[in-house]
Amino acid sequence: MLKIPLQAIVLSVLIHALWGGNPVGAKFGLMVFPPYWSAFIRFVFGIMTIWAWCQWRGIRILPTRNEWSPLLWISLLFTVQIGLMNMGFDQTTGVNGSILISTNPLFAAVFAHFLISSDSLKPVKLIGLLVGFAGVVITIVGSGAGSGPVELGASGDWLCLASACLLGFRLIASARAMKNLNPFRLAIWQMIFSLPLFAFAGGLFETIRWEALGWAPVLGLAYQGIVVAGVGFMASLWLISRYQASVMVSFNFISPVTGVLLSALLLGEALSSGVLLGVGLLAIGMILVCAGKIGKSSPET
């Protein structure tokens, strides 16, 4: 069994902590730019970030002949998943959206069990995921950042849950595809392919609220594009291409905790002692998920 080095664990924790700002950035961006246009502008930032990195590192951007087919179908899945997520964020509360999108590691672990032979769903890993997710629920629902318990009746809630399911599947599918596909080309081309679709949908169905334009929406989208879609996507795809996919994805439980803290700082939302209990359960869940996986062995190449 491949052991995951501590450096990879630390990088994964950092990336998922930064991803916690994604719902906050999305909320700011949606003040002006509706879901499809928000996605379009976000990925323009993301493409520029990844392109600059590839140019600096001398990484080939143009796909090889064998890479086009997996790129196309993963990009379509990517576009649908992001579209559902943005529409869900726009139609539900930030708390509900954060909780429901955070269920994607549970879906990822199940998909990995069926799609990746070396990544089976062992009982300890399942318990760890469930405990960690319970910590996330307690952290956010008990933080006072929302308006009460999660209710799945609203359409936005179901859209976020559907997006979480697709996200879990997409991450595992990407891990399989990256056995023969460069992770940086996947990161940039899934965004490139999504741009005309988001622009078409935005032009057809949405109206930009230019009267509300200010620094907050622009900076929110820039954070989503540069930090999350640019740096975050590259690092995440690189990690799951080299290490056990469901373990890397499991650190997504950190993101809602960061999101709550950023909501308190940037949106003035109150926190409670529920955060402490949630973080404790989260830590236990992470230990269970990563049991026996952290070591000093070299990654697979």
What whole-number distance in Å separates Cα of residue 45 and Cα of residue 226? 6
Q: Which of 44-48, 124-128, 252-256, 282-286 has the highest mean pLDDT?
A: 44-48
Residue 274 pLDDT: 65
Instruction: Quote the tokens at residue 138.
Output: 């307690």
| Residue with tokens 């990195």, as numbered in its chain | 53
- Sign of the torsion formed by the C-alpha atoms of 158, 161, 166 and 167: positive
Rounded to an integer, the average pLDDT of 72-83 is 96
Residue 271 pLDDT: 65
Q: Is 88 helix (H, G, I), strand (E, B) or coil?
A: helix
In terms of phi and psi (left: phi > 0; alpha: psi -120 to 50; beta: otherwise), the region of 219 is: alpha
Residue 299 pLDDT: 38
Q: Computed over its alpha carbons, how large is the radius of gyration of the chain?
A: 18
The answer, yes or no, to whether residue 70 has pLDDT greater than 50, is yes
> What is this structure's pTM?
0.81
Contact 160, 140 (CB under 8 A): no
